[in-house]
């Protein structure tokens, strides 16, 4: 009789689940990057984004996130994943003006720095036995403060020094959220939920990590990036 078959099966299932989450996140980032570079290379699209189209896309992406969050338990995994792909395309188009103003070297440096940072934090979040719920709650509070401060700075203060400080805080916040989200995504896995429920969880998990990585990358790009 093989007494170890149970734990091995659980570990294998968890491994496949986490790989599915990271694969979806990676594919979404590839979609976003491709769309951002294509749109960023076309001045007419960049001008349209700066002229108000980015606001429309922002509303569309927000609507997708809210819909996914509210309806995830009723959606098929395929539909949830399709909405995630659509979301990543819209985000790519909306950040195309950023791609247009920074040098390719700056973008590459920020990307690889983000990847290394994200990888290390993900590994810690996955392997640690410490409960990171408190860190996650603290970082979410900090994120709200950063969003409100950014809004005030963009429309009223227009301080480059404050913008730099908020970018540094964003790196810290999304670094902390990366660890928290990895642990939370890992804890969501359970074979008792069923294959379809686990597939839906992998989409939401991928979306969370996608947002963590993307915002980490954009914050680092604002800090170390060189404009054309």
- Contact call for residues 220 and 113 (beta carbons, < 8 A): yes
pTM score above 0.85: yes
115 closest CA partner among 184, 30, 194 = 30
pLDDT of residue 5: 44
Residues ≥6 apart with Cβ < 8 Å to 117? 171, 175, 216, 220
Angle between helices 54-71 and 195-224 (to 10 degrees): 150
Average pLDDT for consecutive 10-residue bins of the chain (228 residues)?
46 91 98 96 92 92 95 93 97 93 94 97 96 96 95 92 96 98 91 80 96 97 91
d(CA 165, CA 34): 29
pLDDT of residue 13: 87
């Amino acid at each position: 009789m093989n007494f170890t078959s149970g734990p091995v099966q659980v570990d294998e299932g968890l491994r496949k689940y986490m790989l599915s989450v990271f694969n979806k996140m990676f594919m979404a980032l590839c979609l976003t990057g491709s769309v951002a570079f294509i749109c960023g290379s076309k001045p007419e699209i960049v001008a349209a984004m700066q002229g108000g189209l980015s606001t429309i896309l922002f509303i569309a992406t927000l609507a997708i996130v809210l819909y996914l969050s509210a309806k995830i338990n009723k959606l098929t995994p395929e539909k949830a994943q399709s909405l995630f792909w659509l979301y990543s395309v819209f985000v790519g188009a909306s950040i195309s003006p950023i791609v247009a103003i920074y040098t390719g070297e700056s973008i590459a440096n920020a990307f690889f720095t983000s990847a290394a940072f994200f990888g290390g934090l993900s590994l810690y979040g996955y392997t640690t036995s410490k409960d990171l719920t408190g860190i996650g709650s603290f970082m979410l509070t900090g994120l709200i403060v950063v969003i409100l401060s950014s809004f005030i700075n963009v429309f009223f203060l227009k301080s480059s020094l404050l913008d730099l400080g908020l970018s540094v805080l964003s790196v810290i916040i999304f670094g902390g959220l990366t660890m928290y989200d990895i642990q939370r995504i890992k804890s969501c896995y359970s074979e008792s939920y069923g294959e379809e429920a686990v597939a839906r969880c992998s989409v939401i998990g991928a979306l969370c990590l996608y947002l963590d990585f993307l915002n980490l990358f954009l914050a680092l790009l604002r800090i170390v990036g060189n404009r054309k």
